[in-house]
Amino acid sequence: MRRGGPEKWAGVYVLILYILDRMHMRFPALHILFAALLLLPAGAAAQPQIITPAIQSAMQRVSADSLLRHAGILASDTMEGRGTGREGAQRAAAYLSAELARLGLLPVENDSSYLQRFPLHGSFPLPESRLTLYDGDAEIPLTLGEDYTLYKTGDQTFIPRPLRLVFVGYGIVAPEYDYNDYQNINVENAVVVYLSGEPASEDAGYFDGPQPTIYSIPEMKQRIALTRGARGSIMLPLPRVERGYTWKDWQRIFSFEDVKLPITTPGHLSVLLRPEKTNALFRGSRYTYEDVLRMDSTGSVRSFPLQTRTSFSGVFRERDFLAANVMAALPGSDPLLRDSWIICSAHYDHLGIGPAADADSIYNGFVDNAIGCASLLELARVLKTGNLRLRRSVLFLFVTGEEKGLLGSQYYCANPAVPLHRSIANLNVDGLAIIDTFDDMVGIGAEYSTMKRHLERLATELGMSVSQIPPEFNLMEAFASSDQISFAQAGIPSLLIMEGPRYRNLGREEGMARFLRWGEERYHSPRDDAGQPVNPAAVRQHAEILFAYLAAVANTYEPPQWVRGSRFINARLQSLAEER
């Protein structure tokens, strides 16, 4: 351990907290003080090896055969696509629980169950729903599925009388970029119309350049509209943002039941409009839709009132039900560190049963994310049956409802099984490499915390490198697209590790082409099943990297910290102060 650096402060921090706990004393201010100290810049002294001989030996015990066997079972037709709240998901949860029990991992809840049950509400729009546009006295009825889909369903705003429509550009308010689409326009008691995506930029200091920000996410725009007094919103798919997506793709995406937590954003109208119907919105207005597209291409999008109006009356099939996260604990070995936790997570839900493709209607979700859950079971097996004992405790957490909006991870963070302030890191797994072995890795969210340092050191010791997200994938804000964002918003430094574009047996162009082709042909389709081509060596390599990273963070005396300026620091300080 280097002298005077963050590792020393971390050791002192843990020791003091341990002593105070044993004395039943609580001093929340100390948590904040030591958290601030741990945000100090790291020194340049040499670091100890991450991959110790014991970790190296344990890595060699990772079995692709064992991992793929679990993945095949979870992605089998008997699991019926593991749709949230459906029988297939219940069978998957039972399988995960049985495997955790077989390995001898400990239940976390008081009732000795591996399940964390919680309520959800599901709804599905019916054809009787009516969305109507008004152009003067003329009525333009729109058909659900053919002309529009509902981004969120159930408990929609009932709009019996026509309301005015207002175009609000991208629907963004971003003070840090001095950008406000609502600055000079009133949308109270109106329905806003906005473009998908965000302003195009090559400047890293303005909307992160080519990297999408959180402002590009539709849910963020919907919330902004509500805070401005809007009654609902209509999203227009922007061609440069939604490249490659056809209306048939959108129909498939929105053909599944919408599910939400009982406590969520208030019900509101949220429509995705078919591009061919877009011109009808702009009839009689100052600008046409073609004018808006030209504004987008020149960076001059402006907000303005539309002359058309809209009304909506929804009819839904609804249900209330219980879903469950699955979790188990592996206690740490160090008396001073075992009360701090690493959360290793993966979502076990997928889409369930939906529109048929090639006569197959089961969306098995083999890569997304049966294989991620299987990797957690394999890591737990290697740790539990081997001689390697980690200093810190590990919570293996299999969440549900990820495909419905990160519901399981959000519920867990609001109702944590282990205190948030003692959860020092989250390693989330959402898919594994299946194409080829690789020489670089991508850390989704690494830039926000010191978890990046562990990743870079691990890569160096493995003779690999850490790369940025390939530009081919910059279609969405990657860190916010899976469960790691829920843990980050709760203040827990979080990371998702993916393979990079430097494949060992394929050129970059061919490797990326195969990756993109997988996304086009198999992602969120019935073709993501156990029968697809899988490279076992790539699967094993990815799992070994996850194992080494988990072991490195669990054994370090320096808990990961958010970097200065990260938007997640305040949540961390709050959980420390409240000892939540």
Bridge partners (DSSP) of residue 497 are 443
Residue 42 pLDDT: 44
Question: The tokens 């992160």 sit on which residue?
Answer: 208
Supply the pLDDT for residue 107: 95
Token pair 């020092």 is found at: 424
pLDDT in tens, the chain (580 residues): 333 444 444 445 544 544 454 444 444 445 445 544 444 444 444 567 889 999 999 999 999 999 999 999 999 999 999 999 999 999 999 999 999 999 999 999 766 799 999 999 999 999 999 999 999 999 999 999 999 999 877 667 789 999 999 999 999 999 999 999 999 999 999 999 999 999 999 998 899 888 888 899 898 999 999 999 999 999 999 998 887 788 998 999 899 999 999 877 667 899 999 999 999 999 999 999 999 999 999 999 999 999 999 999 999 999 999 999 999 999 999 999 999 999 999 999 999 999 998 899 999 999 999 999 999 999 999 999 988 999 999 999 999 999 999 999 999 999 999 999 999 999 999 999 999 999 999 999 999 999 999 999 999 999 999 998 887 765 556 888 899 999 999 999 999 999 999 999 999 999 999 999 999 899 999 999 999 999 999 999 999 999 999 999 999 988 999 999 898 999 999 999 988 8
The span from the CA of 560 to the CA of 576, in Å, is 14
CB-based contacts of 336-340 (< 8 A; 24+ apart in sequence): 336/14, 336/15, 336/18, 337/14, 337/391, 337/392, 337/557, 338/391, 338/392, 338/393, 339/17, 339/18, 339/21, 339/393, 339/422, 340/14, 340/392, 340/393, 340/422, 340/423, 340/424, 340/559
Those residues whose C-beta lies under 8 Å from the C-beta of residue 410, and which sit 6 or more positions away, are 261, 486
pTM above 0.85, yes or no: yes
| 384 contacts 104 by C-beta, under 8 angstroms | yes
Q: Are strands 232-236 and 191-195 parallel, antiparallel or unpaired?
A: parallel
Backbone phi and psi for residue 466, each to the nearest 5 degrees, phi listed first = -110, 125
pLDDT value of position 38: 47
Q: Enumerate domains of the chain plus CATH numbers.
A: 51-119+320-565 (3.40.630.10), 127-314 (3.50.30.30)
Cα distances (angstroms) measured from residue 504 to each of 64, 536, 538, 542: 18, 14, 10, 13
DSSP assignments along 180-200, one per residue: ETTTT---TTSEEEEESS---
CB 26 within 8 A of CB 20: yes
Q: In whole angstroms, what is the distance from residue 393 CA to residue 553 CA?
A: 11
